[in-house]
Structure formats: structure tokens, C-alpha cells
Amino acid sequence: MDGVSEIIWRAVPCAVFTESAFSEADDIARAPYDASAGRGHHEHAGGNAVKLCQGRVGKQEGANLIGIALVSSALFVLDIAEAYQYGNGTYVSFPGAILLALVLFLLLAGAMRASGQKDLLALMDFAFGKFVGNIFSALICVLLFANAYFLISRFATMVHALVFMKVTLFPVLLWIVPVVIYIAFHGFECIARIAKCFGVILGACLLLSLLFPIDGYEAYRLFPLPLNHWDTIAADAFTGTFATIPAMLALLCMAQGMQGVQSAKKAGIIGAAVSIGLVAAVQVAIGMTFTYTELQNMFVPLYRLNLKLVQESYFFRLDKMLLFLWLIGALIAGAYYLYGAGFVFCRRWSRYDIRPAVIAAGIILLCCLTTEHMGQLQAFQVVRQYGSWLLVVPFTAAAAVALVKSHFLKKKGQTDEKA
């Protein structure tokens, strides 16, 4: 963990953000959300200014962050045996889950722009009022935390099963979770700039890992084509949105840290488009390496793809190196989800320092992961089953209501001007 922490610290020399590092305008943007005023406001609690550690980032940082989060979630959270029961259609369903998330993201961003709201929390209040807005905010918090849980749980299992087989899982969790908390503790700008440092490297390594075993690809392994199961593939894509939509919603919640809705929208489009291409390429490569019957009983097919490369070439230990590169992406994505949950909680319910919230969420995450891997609890399984409905239906309705409401308010304003 010390080595990973040192890399992160060297990559982002200004990771610790203090009050003096920001202007008064940044302090206002980082202040808790005031639903009655419809904007951020600057408050003090016990003489101390608010510390939401949001900062300011640009489109490049946002696009890299969204790309890492979406690719990590799509490749490692959605990759379960049930996805291959009707053949290999994951090269359609996994990118489809990202595409559906992008469509909802664009709908919400358009509603925010039409209604003049600065972030997603303001849009919820504008559409339904503060009480329902609190429910939406709580839902976002839970789903962001659940995504951090799914991702870290998956990677902890992978690292334990494939690298540290002779130890129990708890030391592996103690090696991973504190790094996630450490990154999230320093705020959105720190997370986004780390993502910018590693985004291109991780994407290039992922593509190179697909190019090396190209001689072993056989198109016949993609058969039978899922031509008779498009309804199942569509259902899988819709169900998979529980792992892709939260990353997009978090970006809209922190739109002010992205320097506005328009900048957040561009970053989201770029990140999602790159993610769709990468995920589709990975799943096609896996499908041309293994048959769907083999994939039904395979743990982490992407790792097995690289392991096959190692066995048939001189790239010794490349599989382990790639695993730890993917782990870096998971740490960044997990920190993004954890910080996003803490940010929404503190911004919505006027907590004045996000850092205790992040630490508390990290400790709860560690406890949930420990109890799960001890076999005593299967946390958040309801999110896997019904998370897509909890995301798509309410937030689509919120965007529609906000668009209709802003249209009538604009029309009423024009009528009043004429009168």
C-alpha cells in the first residue's frame, strides 16, 4: 500500500486542498446546497468554513475519470456467468448499458440547462420539491456507495484468488480500502487529476493486452450469434445500468466542480464514448478467445485472456502486472464513488466537512466487505436486481417534469412581458 500511496502522492503534488488554496468563489461553490435559494451558499460552523474539497477541473480530467469508472464497472462488475447463458452477447449488452447511461445523462443535462439549474440536486428540487429531492439524494448516495462496494469487492476477490492465495482476505481488504479512502479524502479535484495521469496509460495497456494474443482469435467462437435473443440482450443492458448510471449522475451532482453543466456534459460524452469502444473491443476479444460455454464457468475472462498470452509467449508475469494496473483504475473509480456519496450527503444535509463523512463511509465499506467475504452477509444484492429500475424510472421522470415545468414557466414569463 505504501508503494501505491507514494505513486499517487508523486503524481499529484497538490493533492491536499486547503481553504487558502481557493478563492472566495470556489468557497461558495463548495458550500452546502440551499434548496430554498436554489444555489450554493457560504456558511461557517463553529468558526470553520465548509470543506467539501470539490475544487475545479476541466473536461480532460472529467472525461478520464468517467472513462475509468465506466470501463472498470462494465468489465468487472457486470462480468458474471449469467451474461453468457444464451451465447456471447456481452459485446452488445455491456456497451449498451453504458449507452443507456449516456442517454439518461444527456436527458438530465438538457433538463438542467433548460431549467437553469446548476447541478443535479437543484434539478431534483426544481422538479419535485425539497422533500422528494431528499429522497432522490439519499438514493444517489446509496447507489454510489453500492457501486464502490461492488467494484472493491470484485477486485479484492481477484487479488486474493490470483495473487495472495496463502493469506486470508481481510489483509487484502486492509491493503486496498485505505487507499480508496486516502484518495477520496483529498477531494474531487485530486481524484480527477489522478484519473488524468493514469487514464491514457490504462487505456493503452488495455488495448495492447488485446493486441498481443491476436493470433489466437477465432471468429467461429462468437457463434452462435445471439440473433434470437435480442430481448434478453436488451434486458441485460438495461439491468447493467445499475453499474453505469451512478458514475454519470455523480458528475452532474458535481457540475460546479466541472465548471458548469456544459463542461460536465462534454466530459461525460467523451468519457462514455471511449468507454463504449473499449468495452466492446474487450468483449469481442474475449468472445473470439473462449466459447460461451467456457465463459459460463470462467472467473474473470479478461485475466484468463492475458494468462493465455503469458503461457504462449515470453511475456512472463504480464498477467499480474496488468491485474495491478486494473487495480489502479478500480482504486480511482472506487474513490470517485465514495467521494460522490459523501459529497451528496454533505451538500444536501448541510454537513460542513466532507472528510469525516468519507472516512465513515470507508469504514462502513470495509465492514460490509469483511462480513460479505466471511459469508455472513450478502450486501446490496437488491441493488443488482432492482437498481436499474431505481435509477432509470425516477430520474427520467425528473428530467421530463423539469423540462415541462421550465417550458411553462418560460411561456408564462413571455406572457407576463407582453402584458
Q: Residue 47: inside a domain, yes or no?
A: no
Indicate the pairing of strand 33-34 with strand 48-49: unpaired
Answer yes or no: is 26 within a domain: no
In a domain, 41, yes or no: no
User: Domain tally for the chain?
Assistant: 1
Query: 166 in a domain, yes or no?
Result: yes
Which H or E element spans position 48? strand 48-49
50 belongs to a structural domain: no
Quickly count: other Cβ atoms within 10 Å of residue 306's Cβ: 23
Encode 52-87: b = buried (16+ Cβ within 10 Å), e = exposed. Answer: bbbbbbebbbbbbbbbbbbbbbbbbbbbeeebbebb
| Residue 4: all three cell numbers together | 501505491
DSSP string, 326-356: HHHHHHHHHHHHHHHHHHHHHHHTT-SBHHH
Task: Dig out the grid coordinates for 51 from the structure.
Answer: 470543506
- What residue numbers bound the domain in which 76 lies? 2-13+57-409
Q: What is the pLDDT of residue 416?
A: 67
Domain assignment present for residue 419? The answer is no
CATH number at residue 136: 1.20.1740.10
User: How many CB atoms lie under 10 A from the CB of residue 399?
Assistant: 23
Judge whether 25 lies within some domain.
no
39 within a domain of the structure (yes/no): no
Pick left, alpha or beta for residue 92 (phi over 0 → left; psi -120 to 50 → alpha; otherwise beta). alpha
Residue 275: DSSP 8-state: H
Looking at residue 316, its pLDDT comes to: 61
Each of the 419 residues of the chain gets a pLDDT tens digit; together they read 444 444 344 444 333 333 333 333 334 334 443 433 333 333 333 334 457 777 789 999 999 999 999 999 999 998 776 777 777 888 999 999 999 999 999 999 999 999 999 999 999 999 999 999 999 999 999 999 999 999 999 999 999 998 888 888 899 999 999 999 999 999 999 999 999 999 999 999 999 888 877 877 888 888 777 777 788 889 999 999 999 999 999 999 999 989 999 999 999 999 999 999 999 999 999 989 888 888 888 888 888 887 766 655 556 667 788 899 999 999 999 999 999 999 999 988 877 788 899 999 999 999 999 988 776 666 678 888 889 999 999 999 999 999 999 988 888 777 766 66
pTM (2 d.p.):
0.85
